[in-house]
Each structure stands twice: as structure tokens, then as C-alpha cells.
Amino acid sequence: MNEMYRSFVSGFCSHDNIEVAGSGTGPLVGLGFAVKDIIDVAGQTTGAGNPDWYNDHAPATRHARAVQQLLDAGANMVGKTITEEFAYGLIGENYHYGTPVNPRVVGGVPGGSSSGSASVVASGQADFALGTDTGGSVRVPASFCGLYGIRPSHGRVSLTGIMPLAPSLDTCGWFTRDAELLRTIGTVLLDESLALAPQRILAAEDAFDLADEDVRMALESAIKRVQECYGDIQIIRPSEMAGLQDYDVWRSVMQITRGSEAAASHLAWIRAADARMGPGFRARFEAGGDYTRADIADAMAKRAMVEGYMAGLLRDDAVMLVPAAPSAAPQGGADEDVYDRLRGANELYNCTAPLARLPQVSLPLGETERGPVGLGVIAGHGNDEMLLDMAVALAS
């Protein structure tokens, strides 16, 4: 393990960091927000967590659409934040720039890839922050750092000016310390639609089975709180759906989809630049380039089955409960097998929302001896407001 991984640092980028004043009017006036360093800010080079990429690219000429919306709503941008390289990670450690501190867990990782964004919000250095979530990069850091976080429905928040990783899975989400602000940001970034209330609450028993025992125990009170607010909970096992009767199959679909799209996005540049990358990162892109057309076609067909199943299950009146992350935050500099177990468990069930293009929130409603854990709530596509309203209701 490189010593840099053990070095805890501020979540803010140290290179060319700038502040941008908001419009001075609007629902977010007076609030400060941070921006993950794969999201464009005019006049600043988007660094993608990799110094060779940073040195090889020019500053952005305009703000990403989401950044501009927040500025127009009165918020002030207070800085760019560290990301794992090209947003392809789950732990939060950056080989080149260090590991953003997790203020809720002494010595613990913040989670990735939106590690810096979660860190600066949890430490109170920003009121909220933008992150991206392809396979868990908002949901897991939110859980590890005791924050509210949302991965929106695919397509509901603009990705214009945001570096792609796997375009059919990528979303732009945000972190806050309180539920009301999470909801308010939704009124700015979402093309808002009518907020429906959930009529059915489902709990994915097989997803909870994959979480650590202390996570399951810590979330029992959160689940009871949901039941008090919304009524009886139906226990389900999505992994037993007809045709894809194992989360291992879901995980394989996720790996092929994300890996092949990530390779298409960045592998040519990585090879041409012979980029310096942290341990394992180049290998992930290379592995994605090895999938065959047959592999990809098979994954697309199975993904369509997952998407159809989840659409029929949730419709417009249900939500599904899962652990936002399968464990509390591990300690920084841990052996790679510790991180591999976390990645593996996360991909088994937290691939559900990305594969089906669904919104999911992480609600900071659990606490273990090792640190905070979040309750994940998934809704049908487009029902982001349902989740934001639930966050406010469960926080009161």
C-alpha cells in the first residue's frame, strides 16, 4: 500500500482551486457548495483525479449545466473536490492526492469516488456538494460520512459539462447534512414533477442479508421509523426474479456494462498518454476493453430484464428499502481484500438502481460502533421527489 493512500487530506483540490459567486438571489442564496473534480467550472481545468489528465487538458470554457443552475439559484461555489481517478472507485483513496478525511470515523475512508465532496460537507466546509454516482459513488460516501445523498433517476439532472465514465449508468447527485436542503436542491436541479407519496413499502431481504450484521442491526430502528410513517412493509427477494435468479448475475451485468463503457470513454487516452495511475485503476479500464460484443449484447439483454422487473415492481406507488452500503467505513490503508469484499458486496445489490436507471437516496438513520450507516430507498423512475419528501418526513 502506497504511503500516499494513508495520508488524510482536505477534501478540496489543491490545484487551481477557485471560488465563484452566485447570483445573489434565489432559494440557495448564502449557501456554499463544492463540485467534484470531474464537473466543469469555467476557467479551471477538470482534473479527474489524475495529474497527467490535468496537465494534458485545457481549462473549461463554461460551467457544467448543474453548476450554472446552482449559481443562478444564489449558491456560491467554494471549491473543487478530490475524486478517485476518473470516478472509477468506491473507497475514496487517491494515489496522487491523498485520502479526504472522514470526520465521522477516525482513520476511516470517506467512500468514493465522490470522496472529497462527501468529506467537505461532513466537515462543515460546504453546505452541500455535487457528486456523481455510477455504481454507488454518492450513496456509499453518504452512508460512510453520515450524510443525506441522492442518486437521481437517470436523465433527470443534466450531465452537460460532466466527464463521462459509463454514460448509460452515470448520474449527477448531491450531498447535504439535512433533509430540507436535500429537498430544496431538488427544486433547482430537477425538472420538477408532482411528488407522489408511496403507497407500498418493500424491503429487499436478500440485500440486507449481504450487509454486515452491525449494519442490519443499526438500520432496524430506521426501518421501524419507515413503518410508523408509511405503514406495513412487505418483504421481497428481488434476486429471485424469474430468469436472473442470483445477484451474482446482476453484478456481472453491472461489471460488463460499466467496464465496457468506461473503456470506450477513456482507455484510448490512457494508452496514448501512458498515464500514471494508482494501483488497479489502469487494470480496470483494460479489463473493460476485453469484453466482446457477445458479452455486451448478453449484458444488455439481461439489463433489460432487470429494468423491466423493477419498473413492474415499483410502478409509481412503491419504494424499496436496502442498505445504502453493505458496511460502515473501513479504516484507511486497509488490505486490498478488505476493499474487495466491500466492492463485491456493494455491486451485488447496489447495482439495482443504476441498471434500472432509478433514483435512490441514502438517509443517515443508523449508527454502528464503527461509524454511521445509511438506509437506502429506491423509487420508480422519475419519482425522485417521492424520495426527497420521504427524507424530510423521516427526519422530522
Burial class (CB in 10 A: 0-12, 13-18, 19+), 367: middle
C-alpha cell of 228?
410508523
Distances (CA, A) of 292 to 163, 250, 297, 298, 389: 25, 18, 9, 10, 43
DSSP per-residue string spanning 150-199 = EEPPTTSS--TTB--SSTTT-EEEEEESSHHHHHHHHHHHS-----PPPS
The CA-based dihedral angle spanning residues 160, 165, 167, 171, taken in that order and rounded to the nearest 10 degrees: -60
Q: Number of C-alpha atoms within 13 angstroms, CB side, residue 193? A: 12
Q: What is the CA radius of gyration of the chain?
A: 19
Q: Has 113 been annotated as catalytic?
A: yes
Q: Which of 10, 119, 137, 153 is catalytic?
A: 137
DSSP per-residue string spanning 93-151 = -BTTTBEE--TTSTTB---SSSHHHHHHHHTTS-SEEEEEESSSTTHHHHHHHT-EEEE
Rounded to an integer, what distance in angstroms lies between the CA atom of residue 91 and that of residue 360?
Answer: 19
Contact 48, 13 (CB under 8 A): no
Q: What is the DSSP letter of 330?
A: P
Q: Has 36 been annotated as catalytic?
A: yes
Q: Which of 10, 36, 117, 362 is catalytic?
A: 36
Contact 67, 40 (CB under 8 A): yes
Q: Which of 113, 153, 260, 327 is catalytic?
A: 113
Point out the residues that are catalytic. Answer: 36, 113, 137
